[in-house]
Amino acid sequence: LPYVSDTDDSGNPSSADDLVLAIVDNTNPELLDFDLRGFTLNYATMDDDLNGETTVTIRASDGEQYSDQMITIAINPINDAPRLDLSEYQNLRLKVGTQKVIYLSEILTDIDGDVDEVTVSASNEVPGSARVSFLDNTLTLSWDQEGMQTVTIQAEDRYDANIYTIVVDVYDSMPLLVGTGPDADVNVDVSNVYIGETPEVTMFLNKNDVTITSLTTTWQLCNALTGICQFNQVNEHDITQKSLGWTFDPLDGQIGDNGMRNMDYVTVAKVVAIASNGEKFQYQDSNLKWTAEEEVPGPETMTVEEVDALIATLDAEIKSLEERISQLEEGSTAYTEAVADLEDLESDRAEACEYTTCDEASSAITDATEGGMDIMVIGI
């Protein structure tokens, strides 16, 4: 507006605010792009690497008459620094111990010079983790520890340089979802969590997007009152059973015959799955825990159906134990312990039968005798 003026028909000064400006010509439209907004003329080069000259003609009109003004703009040539197209490597993720090779020749350009004369260097806080090879013009990235890493890359010719940074997420394993719901990659449930009892884990593998070839779980037994973790058990699971699932003692017998104490809890501390492509998936937390706060419910708290189910389970355990006793050497420690266990099962069955109608059956001792075992029970 300071450069625009107007007069009326008598030659007297008139306000320029009512004038209309327009661009009527641009002699080199491939060089500059013009934009007229009100009384402000804006322009920009069509490319970052252009030079030359253009003349733009601006017309001012009051509706009756007009006047044209030519403006010449020259763009001087300057050297453009070499460039690296690192768009493909933004948000890069790299596994610990593996390498990422970036072929610099494929992403390096120098509009004003020869790329063979460009020097590329790279740096990172971990020495040797970002290495440029001048033999094949490659950048190799590799780390031995997980974490976020920033790499600074410089592309330089004789006149100027461009500096870039890329951030690399270095990971050791992919996340593995472990929980009690159906959406978990590994579904875990723990039963028989009572004072004096041994917990039992039922586990299923639901991760189907990759082929899992190895599965390991780590379990701990801790006490909520003392804060002390007594056992740390690593279990390797037979992967051929993944279609059926696994049922197991998470502490692998370490808990002993006395079972869990009051406020003891079992927790799955870590789950590691290895895929056929070598990818590692891992869960590591302590949020999943099962706490023993009461003793196992007796048959007096059960429905008739639950008591019948308990008796059926006891009968199966009694039969299995009888078969085992028949193969043991009489008088051996294993034989004596098995007979004691058999008596406990018979006692539990007798107690359960007080709350339902049991079929008449011989005692385990009698059955064992009929099976060819000579068992003597002496009361003192």
- Segment 324-359, tens digit of pLDDT: 999 999 999 999 989 998 998 999 899 889 888 887
230 and 270 part of one domain: yes
pLDDT at 16: 77
Q: Which of 124, 105, 131, 45 is nearest to 80 (CA)?
A: 45
Q: What is the pLDDT confidence band of residue 372, given thresholds at 50, 70 and 90? A: very low
The answer to the question of residue 321 being in a domain is: yes
| CA atoms of 379 and 365, how far apart (whole Å) | 14
230 and 142 part of one domain: no
**Tokens (6 digits) for 374:** 């000579």
Q: How many domains is the chain partitioned into structurally?
A: 4
**Tokens (6 digits) for 288:** 């999943």
Q: What is the pLDDT confidence band of residue 361, given thresholds at 50, 70 and 90? A: low
pLDDT at 282: 96
209 and 268 part of one domain: yes
348 and 264 part of one domain: no
The answer to the question of residue 376 being in a domain is: no
236 and 255 part of one domain: yes
187 and 274 part of one domain: yes
| CA atoms of 128 and 247, how far apart (whole Å) | 47
- Indicate the residue among 140, 171, 202 that finishes a domain: 171
Q: Which of 109, 93, 101 is nearest to 132 (CA)?
A: 101
pLDDT at 14: 78
| CA atoms of 308 and 152, how far apart (whole Å) | 72
63 and 88 part of one domain: no
pLDDT at 360: 62
234 and 306 part of one domain: no
Query: Stretch 187-191: mean pLDDT, rounded?
Result: 96
- Indicate the residue among 291, 317, 346 that finishes a domain: 291
Q: Model pTM greater than 0.85?
A: no
Residue 214, pLDDT > 60, answer: yes
